[in-house]
Each structure stands twice: as C-alpha cells, then as structure tokens.
C-alpha cells in the first residue's frame, strides 16, 4: 500500500496522515461538522461534584506540557466517579497527532486528534478514570505530550483543555495505582520494575499499546513477508501479540487493537467527522496478574517487561506504557502464597505467502494458577487467555488495489475464590484502497470493535481525484457509526461529505 500511496504524491502517505489542503474540495466546503462519536455519555451519579483543570495549552511543538494536580478542596472524596474530559479545537491545515497524559508518572489517557477544516473544528472526549481514584487523592505532577508541527504549511495549532470532575460517593476500586519504575529498553522490549504492597491480594496490569510513529508498524496488520516484495516487509508476517513478563517469565498475552487514526488508509475524508473506533480514546489492555502475587509480595522490586511478538528485529514503532492496579487485604500485614502452575502454549503463526497475497492464521493460549494465604483463608486464582488472528491481505500490480480482511479474537477468564470474570473481544477490519484509470483514489472500510455487550461498528467509503489542484479533488465521503450496548443503548450517526444527517 505504501507504493500505491507514493503514486498519489501531493503530500499524502498512508503512514503519516492525510493531505493538507491549500483549498478544500468544494463538496466539503471550508467548515465541515465537528467530530463526534455515537458512544453514550458517561453515566454519573447525582449530587455534589466539582472540577479542576489540569491542562490548558496550545500544542504547537514537541515539548511536553507540565503542570500540577492538586485534589480539589471542595471534593476531598471518597468519589463514586471521576471523569476526565478533553476539549480541543484546531483550524487550518494539520495532520492527525498522537498524544498521552500522565499523572504522577501513571498513564491515564492516550489519544489521537482529528484533522481540521480551514475554518476550524472543536471536539471533546470523555473517559471514566475512576480506577485511578487512589492516585488522585494526593498532589502529583501532570505531563501531557501532543507533538505537533506548525509552520507555513501546517498551520493547525491544537488548543487543548483537560479537566477532571469528581462526583461524591463511595466506590470500590484499587488501593494502589503504580507506574512502571526504573524504565528502560531491553532491545525492543519496554522494561522496568514494580514493587507492590505486601498485603496486595489482587493485581492488574494495563498496557496502552499502540503501533505508531509513522512507519510500517503503525499499520502492522498490513505487513507482509519479505519474499512477497510488499513495501512494508515483516518476517514471518503481520501477527502481533502484546505480552507482559514478570521476572523474565510470560505472565499474560493479548491481541493489540488495530487502531486507525484520522489520516489513515490514504483518506482523511473518511474520518473528518466520525473517527474509527478507539481513535480518540485509546484504551489499555488489561492483564490479571493475581496468580503471581505469592511471588511479588516479598517487598522487593520485580522486573517487568512488555514485549510485542512479531515485530521484525531492529524495527521500532511500538509504544507500550504500563501501569499496575493493586487491591489490598486490610485484614493482614502480608499475604503469602505461590504459583501452582503456568503454561504458555505453542505459538501458531502460519503464513502462506505468494506474490500479491498473504494469508495469516495465528493464535496463542496461556493459563496460570496461584494461591494466596489471606485474612479470608487460602484463595486460589486462575487466569486463562486465548488470542487469535486470521487475515487475508491482497494487492495488485504496484499495490493497486490493496485490501485487507482481518479478524482478531481475545478471550480472558479469571476465577478468584469462586468469582468468575470473563471478557470476550472481537475486532474486525475489512478495507481496501484503489486508484482507478481516471486517477480517482477510493477507500472503503468496515471496522468493528466488539467487547462483551458493546459493539462499535464503523462503515464508510470516500474518494478523491489525484494529480489536480487541491480545490479540484472533488472529494466525497459517506460514513456511518453504530454503537450498541445489548438491551440498553443503540445509536447511529451518518454523514455525507462532512455533514451529519
């Protein structure tokens, strides 16, 4: 697909966002509708609440914004809900940008941005951050990064405000929220240490994993074996898996989400108003590490690594910050225990490659069982994980057309003291880019993010004319997002040429 996009020229490459317009196509005008999603607003409890602003900045470079967070005096807690809200506006010409926000070194939000209209757009994102309430009880430094080039060509300054709103009440959440300490790199792996409280009885890790940075790993699912001659080579192929290791031993596996940002797949027109699922709120992958707590409650710092399986040697492009959420047993000073069993199954990564076609079948299983002596007696925990990926990638001469049909599955079950927690996720991506004999580039896309009772589906098609002045590209786009929560919520947004119907 990179070769196909090179044909397009005019500053448009699949891996770096979309075209920057000196003049917008007439079909869109100079002021299309503000970006939005079909997801419901976050449900909040009635009663007292208060807000505090932690970011207020115009991002026009590559420095990290630094401020301070102090718990609001009017809402000292406890809190039933804490909601983060980002409000942004931008106008002119600009690519999509990736950003992140930490408080006390803990990653609490990761995002990408929409691409602006000449007259300007405004957008907002809400995220439930109640799981970080324990962190927010004390003052901490705030860091936000949103690297952005602003010059005579790329004029869009990203004006961003981020606030936290606290709702009074009680909630059950983690007692400890911990960043990865002593961070570094061991080859491509992120490494560091974690030291948990001696009476920790439940431990989760969360990894905000993104393939990003403008290279082939931003579109890792389109990579192909070197033997095929495809412009984004990766051996053995496109299978990726995000693993967490404790003291050098795999302790969890997961399928990464196939993020598509708002300049992706050669066609920013496709995403001007309705983004792809998760584009504005990049969710973390969660791992239940409770079976390993018998080894971790000794007061020592334990080594943690995050590894992305399948990335070619020497290839960069993955960002995998990790946090830890711990629950304590208040009835005892220290819990003790051990690991009874863990097993990492054989990795299936079967690739059938010919010129112009790659078929991939991948999958992996993992299980771990441990026990803890707690104030409630001996408690056994078992975690079972199963991930899979099936895809067919086809392309023609000059990588035109270029198409992918792919499915990822990620199933995890945790059983602790008889309590069962299950999450089944299924991600699909069915897209194609084609340039016809009249030099018109067309992108079609269908993406689904299904997790438990929630299904978020984007469908759309967009096209524009190559090798003409920008105001003559006659771009068109028809898109739709349907967001459903089984038995509770169902909303659809439809757009045509930047206008919400």
Q: Please name every residue paired with 268 in a beta bridge, in sequence order, or none if there are none.
A: none
The secondary element (H helix, E strand) that includes residue 3 is helix 2-8
pLDDT in tens, 423-461: 999 999 999 999 999 999 999 999 999 999 999 999 999
Classify residue 70 as exposed, middle or buried by CB count within 10 Å of its CB (0-12, 13-18, 19+).
exposed
171: confidence class by pLDDT, cuts 50, 70, 90: confident
Find, among 10, 11, 14, the residue nearest to 400 by Cα: 14
26: confidence class by pLDDT, cuts 50, 70, 90: confident
The secondary element (H helix, E strand) that includes residue 493 is strand 489-496
Whether residue 13 is predicted with pLDDT greater than 50 in this model: the reply is no
Q: Got the DSSP string for 423-492?
A: EEEEEEEEEEEEE-TTSEEEEEEEEEEEETTEEEEEEEEEEEESSS-GGG---EEEEEEEEEETTTEEEE
Which residue, chain included where needed, has tokens 């967490």?
244
pLDDT in tens, 289-299: 999 999 999 99
Whether residue 92 is predicted with pLDDT greater than 50 in this model: the reply is yes
128: confidence class by pLDDT, cuts 50, 70, 90: very high
Structural Rg of the chain based on CA atoms: 23
Q: What pLDDT is attached to residue 2?
A: 56
Rounded Cα gap, residues 146 and 95, in angstroms: 12
Q: Please name every residue paired with 457 in a beta bridge, in sequence order, or none if there are none.
A: 448, 482
185: confidence class by pLDDT, cuts 50, 70, 90: very high
Rounded Cα gap, residues 226 and 217, in angstroms: 15
Percent of the chain, pLDDT > 90? 88
Q: What pLDDT is attached to residue 4?
A: 53
Rounded Cα gap, residues 278 and 189, in angstroms: 24
Distance, CA of 421 to chain centre: 22
Whether residue 353 is predicted with pLDDT greater than 80 in this model: the reply is yes
CA dist list (Å): 58 to 112, 119, 146, 286, 309: 15, 17, 10, 32, 37
215: confidence class by pLDDT, cuts 50, 70, 90: confident
Which residue, chain included where needed, has tokens 């967070």?
69
Q: What pLDDT is attached to residue 213?
A: 61
Rounded Cα gap, residues 464 and 5, in angstroms: 13
pLDDT in tens, 93-103: 999 999 999 99
Q: Which two tokens stand for residue 26?
A: 């007439």
Q: Phi, psi at residue 220, to the nearest 5°?
A: -55, -30
Note if the pTM is more than 0.85. Answer: yes
Q: What pLDDT is attached to residue 24?
A: 65
Judged by DSSP in three states, 176 sits in strand
């Amino acid at each position: 697909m990179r070769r196909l996009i090179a044909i397009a020229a005019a500053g448009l490459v699949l891996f770096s966002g979309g075209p920057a317009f000196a003049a917008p196509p007439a079909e869109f005008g100079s002021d299309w509708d503000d970006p939005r999603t079909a997801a419901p607003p976050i449900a909040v409890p009635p009663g007292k609440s208060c807000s505090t602003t932690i970011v207020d900045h115009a991002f026009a470079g590559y420095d990290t914004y630094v401020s301070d967070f102090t718990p609001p005096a009017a809402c000292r807690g406890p809190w039933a809900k804490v909601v983060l809200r980002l409000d942004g506006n931008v106008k002119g010409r600009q690519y999509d940008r990736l950003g992140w926000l930490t408080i006390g070194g803990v990653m609490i939000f990761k995002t990408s941005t929409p691409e602006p209209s000449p007259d300007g757009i405004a957008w907002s994102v809400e995220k439930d951050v109640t799981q970080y309430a324990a962190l927010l009880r004390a003052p901490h430094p705030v860091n936000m990064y949103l690297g952005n080039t602003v010059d005579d060509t790329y004029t869009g300054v990203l004006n961003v405000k981020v606030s936290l709103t606290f709702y009074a009440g009680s909630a059950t959440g983690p007692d400890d929220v911990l960043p990865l300490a002593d961070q570094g790199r061991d080859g491509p792996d992120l490494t560091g240490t974690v030291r948990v409280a001696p009476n920790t009885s439940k431990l989760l890790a969360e990894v905000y994993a993104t393939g990003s940075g403008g290279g082939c790993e931003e579109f890792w699912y389109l990579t192909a074996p070197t033997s095929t001659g495809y412009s984004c080579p990766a051996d053995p192929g496109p299978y990726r898996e995000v693993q967490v290791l404790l003291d050098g031993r795999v302790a969890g596996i997961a399928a990464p989400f196939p993020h598509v940002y708002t300049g992706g797949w050669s066609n920013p027109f496709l995403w001007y108003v309705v983004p792809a699922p998760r584009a504005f709120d990049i969710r973390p992958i969660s791992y239940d590490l409770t079976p390993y707590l018998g080894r971790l409650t000794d007061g020592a710092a334990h080594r943690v690594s995050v590894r992305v399986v399948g990335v070619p040697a020497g290839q960069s492009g993955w960002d995998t910050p990790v946090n830890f959420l711990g629950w304590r047993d208040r009835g005892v000073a220290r819990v003790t225990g051990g690991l009874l069993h863990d097993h990492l199954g054989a990795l299936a990564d079967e690739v059938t490659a010919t010129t112009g076609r790659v078929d991939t079948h991948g999958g992996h299983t993992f299980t771990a069982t441990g026990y803890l002596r707690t104030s409630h007696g001996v408690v056994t925990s078992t975690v079972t994980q199963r991930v899979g990926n099936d895809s067919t990638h086809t392309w023609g001469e000059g990588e035109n057309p270029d198409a992918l049909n792919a499915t990822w599955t990620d199933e995890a079950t945790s059983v602790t003291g008889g309590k069962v927690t299950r999450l089944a996720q299924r991600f699909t991506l069915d897209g194609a880019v084609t340039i016809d004999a009249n030099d018109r580039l067309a992108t079609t896309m269908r993406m689904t993010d299904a997790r438990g009772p929630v299904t978020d589906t984007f469908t759309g098609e967009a096209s524009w004319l190559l090798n003409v002045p920008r105001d003559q590209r006659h771009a068109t786009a028809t898109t739709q997002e349907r967001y459903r929560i089984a038995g509770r919520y169902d909303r659809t947004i439809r757009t045509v040429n930047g206008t919400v119907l």
